[in-house]
Every structure is written in structure tokens, then in C-alpha cells.
A and B are shown apart, each in its own frame.
Chain A
């Protein structure tokens, strides 16, 4: 019986992108369904009644929610190719730790850059750069966070790259100036089809954020 894989998603979401990258890495065919977050589908509300959020992966009728949990699920089910998590338990714990760090720190700091002004914005910029510097240090001289192979932590962070140029424009700063190794890592990841064919162009994200700022009344 062929697998039925449906992804409920929203094109600018860096969380949704993580799942798209993972599916592409594994070469899994799936149906992409765009959600209008102001008018969520009955399917989304039924499949994620607790949070009512995207992304939701529906595999043969069963929903899996939360992007990093979905990525781990994909890795465990399609375990015959392109491993995403390492096989060693200690390395897996390290990967989970750093993906958790990305989740806890990058999103909120980034969001504050385009939703605040003045002093608050400057503080957000500093926090964002500090977080990226910690990640850059963790990367060290490895080609990927996963070592020689693109993996779980890489997937958790690379999807923010499409948002970077928007952060830079609204924050009036250059991420590359502060974290050159991290940008080099991002460009290395973009050489992979699974990443380059998933991440939207930075300009599109910038346009999206412009619209959001108007709606939120941030100017």
C-alpha cells in the first residue's frame, strides 16, 4: 500500500520549512496544503486540536505535530536513507540539545527585531547576535552542525536563513559581519537541493513581514 503523506503548512513558516527540508532529504512524495492562518481549515483544527498550528504532517491519516517532533518521526519511519539524527545516543542528545536551543532562543529574538522599535529593537538585535555567536562557536570548524553530514541541528536552524535578510533590513545590521562562519555554513547548506528548493527567497519573506508589520501597526 502506498503511503499517503500530507503536509499542512504556511509558506513563510520556518517551522514548516523544517519539515519540507526533511521530506526532501528523504525523497518522500507528499501533498502540500497551504493554510490560511486567519481562516484555518477544519482539517487543521481536527488534526491539531491542542495548538491549532502548522506544520502538521498527516501520515496515512494520523497527525504528527510540532516541527522537530515531525522531523524525528520522518527520520524514524524512513530510516533506510539520508539519516537526520546521529546513531550514537550521546551525539543524539547533543543534537537534541542544540535544536532545543535554536527553538528557545532564535525565534523570539528574531521576532522582536521586526516587531519593536528604538531601545527594545536594539536590545533584540544584540540578543539575536549573541545567540548566533553561540551557535557559530558550537559549529566550530565542522562543515555542518551534524559534523560531515547535514543533520538535525542544521535543519532546525537553516530555515531561519530565508528570514535573515529581512532581520538585517529591519534591524539595520549585517549578520555576516558578526557571524561570517555561520553565513558560510548557510551557503553550504543552500548547495543542497533539499534546502535550496525549499527556502523561499529572502525578498518574498521581507515582503511578507512588511505586510505583517502594517497589520500589527509597527512602523
Chain B
């Protein structure tokens, strides 16, 4: 019996974070695809507070929130560590993971909006990219140094989902001449074998996201589930 189950969604970057963490550590697991508009009763039971995926269930214990799941995975299966062992480096890693969480939503706002709201989201996103490039990545190949770690995983959405959003919305954010180091990082990240083999299909994602944007612009209110 497989002891580890992941309730996720193929198109979700949050879900993929957990897939990458499990695969990097070679942890066997059962993938349970959730249909997001029709979440299973299990999700509502395992995550009554946020009602969201991903949820990792280890034995019978559910763990929610992708970055919390990754720390759990790292502490439970210590091989191929995703966080540094030094407390100061760990604090820095957690700082950038939090930055990815707090600032990432501007790009999603850009994706779901138009006009002034979109312009504001675009400026916020560019500001965040500048900060990440200068203060976060610096001259390192990966955020984790020579190997990818939790921060790379947290920013993993920039390697694929960002490009999809840029294409659909017709706005370029992560341009090579403006953010050379971050741009190089997206290439290097996607070349890591575990990542390369576990990215959603580009075309499928594009189709899905096109539909999401049409719906978002079509609805009169700006709130989303």
C-alpha cells in the first residue's frame, strides 16, 4: 500500500512544487487528480480551512499549503535536502519562499484583469522581479546554490506559467535583457532532469489558461474563488 498520497491538479504550480519535492527525494506516492471546480469530499475534509490543493496525506495525516508540505517532506525524508542545514541559510531560504508566496499573486492579478488594474499589477510584478534578481538570486546558478532547493521550487512557476501568462496577456515581463540572471535561471531550472520530466504540457496549459482568462474578464466582479 502506498503510504503517501498527493491530492493535486496537473495545471497547478503549487501542486507541481510538491511533485518536484517528492521526485527529487525519490519518494513513491499516489497522485490523485482533483477536478478543481468539483473538489472531492476528501479535500473538504482534509483542508476544511482553505479547501485547496495540494494536500499531502502521509499515512492518514493530511498536510496543507505547498511550502509547509515541502518543509514536512524535507524533515521526514532527509535525503537530498531541500533546505540548507545552517540556521541562518535556512532563515534566508524561508525569507525568499515567503517573498515568492506574498509577491507572486501580482502576476495572477495581471492575468485576470485589464486596464488600470492590470497596469498596476504589471508594475508590481516588474518590481518584484527586480528584487528577486538583485537580492535573491545574485550571481548564483540556482537560489539553492549549485543545486536546486526549496526557493527554486517556490519560484518554479516563473519557469513555465509566467511565460504562458505573458503569451496570453501579450505582456512581456521576464525579458532576458532586463533580467539576465533570472532569465538564465529559468532555463537552468527547466533542464534539471526531475523538473524537465515533471512539467505540465505547455500546449495544454496554454489552452486551459486562455479559457480561465476569458472567464475572468467576462465576469463582472473582480473576486475569484
Contact = CB atoms under 8 A, between A and B. Distances in A.
Interface of A: 49-50, 59, 62, 64-66, 69-70, 72-73, 76-77, 89-90, 92-93, 96-97, 100-101, 134
Interface of B: 49, 58, 61, 63-65, 68-69, 71-72, 75-76, 87-88, 90-91, 94-95, 98-99, 131, 135
B135 A49 contact: yes
B178 to A, nearest CB: 19
A96 B88 contact: no
Contact of A50 (B65, B75, B91, B99): B99
A135 B129 CA distance: 35
B29 to A, nearest CB: 16
Nearest to B90: A76
A73 B76 contact: no
B63 A90 contact: yes
B60 to A, nearest CB: 11
A92 B75 contact: yes
A100 B52 CA distance: 15
A173 to B, nearest CB: 24
Main secondary structure of the interface of B (DSSP, over half): helix
A90 B72 contact: yes
A155 B127 CA distance: 32
A134 B49 contact: yes
Given A49-B135, A66-B98, 12 more contacts: A59-B88, A64-B88, A66-B94, A69-B98, A73-B87, A89-B72, A89-B75, A92-B72, A93-B63, A93-B68, A96-B65, A97-B63
Main secondary structure of the interface of A (DSSP, over half): helix
Contacts, number: 55
Contacts of B90: 72-73, 76
B91 A93 contact: no
Nearest to B73: A89
B88 A93 contact: no
A69 B65 contact: no
A200 to B, nearest CB: 26
Contacts of A92: 71-72, 75
B99 A76 contact: no
B135 A96 contact: no
A114 B75 CA distance: 41
Contacts of B72: 89-90, 92-93
Nearest to A62: B88
Nearest to B101: A100
Contacts of B95: 50, 64-66, 69
A130 B98 CA distance: 25
B173 to A, nearest CB: 19
Contacts of A73: 87-88, 90-91
Given A50-B135, A77-B87, A134-B49, A72 B68 contact: no
Contacts of A101: 49
6 contacts: A65-B95, A66-B94, A69-B98, A73-B91, A77-B87, A97-B63
Nearest to B72: A93
A72 B76 CA distance: 18
A49 B75 CA distance: 30
